[in-house]
């Protein structure tokens, strides 16, 4: 039988990496198409829908346009144009930031909050697929995704999000219980891989040294 490629059909680590990237691309395509359909049906562009979702997460703190751009990994001009379009639709408003006369905070209006709530659900098809996995596989999948996201953040490909692994309250592998080895010092409670947060309201950024030490411990012990 002929072998395909350098390591044969099942050979090299590189081929596995390519397949993982291919599989992620398939999932991304399904998500993109779902996001387009859902937001178009509601008269919004996907960026406008993402802005509503981000402002919903920020709550009464709102966000500056520059923060919106950073969170969504889009250009400042794109964030600004999309925000202005949402203002015209009555879904967001801009308020002056007291300490800086020129800066403006973007906040959801009541109509914007209702719209953001409607858009907030995860795509049902994706949730169904993930829920079909055994619980241990869901936790392992989450761990792998968090590590991949962290690598992408380090490479500057996606913005740093408010994940446990970059939080000052995170204590990886602080407990001997393999089901709940981590500790959140904010709520003072142990938790397992399946409850690692990707976006947490209570997140406080760790110092570079603490984040690096936590990361090494998290990766090494897992």
Judged by the rule CB under 6 A, the positions of this chain that interact with ligand SF4 are: 164, 167, 169-170, 184, 186, 197, 200, 202-203
Shortest CB 143 distance to ligand SF4, Å:
14
Q: Identify which of residues 45 and 210 has a Cβ nearer to ligand SF4 in the complex.
A: 210
Shortest CB 198 distance to ligand SF4, Å:
9
Shortest CB 166 distance to ligand SF4, Å:
8
Shortest CB 7 distance to ligand SF4, Å:
39
DSSP for 50-72 reads: HHHHHHHHHGGG-EEHHHHHHHH
What residues contact 199, with CB distance under 8 A and at least 6 apart? 57, 161, 162, 163
Residue 218: other Cβ atoms inside 10 A: 22
What's the CA gap between 4 and 51, in Å, rounded? 45
Residue 170: other Cβ atoms inside 10 A: 27
Shortest CB 68 distance to ligand SF4, Å:
21
Q: Identify which of residues 65 and 182 has a Cβ nearer to ligand SF4 in the complex.
A: 182
What's the CA gap between 147 and 215, in Å, rounded? 9
Q: Report whether 175 contacts 183 (CB < 8 A).
A: yes
Q: Identify which of residues 150 and 203 has a Cβ nearer to ligand SF4 in the complex.
A: 203
Q: Identify which of residues 141 and 186 has a Cβ nearer to ligand SF4 in the complex.
A: 186
Q: Identify which of residues 107 and 203 has a Cβ nearer to ligand SF4 in the complex.
A: 203
- The secondary structure of residue 123, as a DSSP letter, is P
């Amino acid at each position: 039988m002929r072998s395909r490629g350098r390591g044969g059909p099942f050979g090299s680590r590189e081929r596995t990496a390519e397949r993982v990237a291919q599989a992620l691309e398939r999932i991304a395509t399904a998500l993109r198409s779902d996001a387009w359909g859902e937001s178009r049906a509601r008269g919004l562009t996907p960026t406008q829908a993402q802005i509503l979702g981000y402002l919903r997460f920020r709550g009464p703190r709102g966000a500056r346009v520059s923060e919106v751009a950073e969170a969504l990994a889009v250009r400042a001009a794109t964030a600004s144009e999309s925000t202005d379009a949402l203002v015209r639709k009555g879904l967001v408003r801009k308020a002056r930031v007291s300490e800086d006369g020129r800066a403006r905070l973007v906040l959801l209006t009541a109509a914007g909050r209702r719209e953001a709530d409607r858009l907030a659900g995860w795509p049902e098809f994706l949730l169904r697929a993930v829920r079909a996995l055994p619980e241990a596989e869901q936790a392992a999948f989450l761990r792998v995704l968090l590590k991949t996201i962290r690598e992408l953040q380090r490479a500057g490909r996606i913005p740093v999000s408010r994940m446990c692994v970059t939080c000052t309250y995170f204590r990886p592998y602080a407990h001997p219980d393999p089901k709940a080895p981590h500790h959140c010092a904010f709520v003072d409670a142990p938790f397992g891989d399946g409850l690692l947060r990707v976006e947490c309201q209570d997140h406080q950024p760790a110092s570079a040294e603490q984040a690096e030490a936590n990361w090494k411990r998290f990766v090494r012990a897992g």
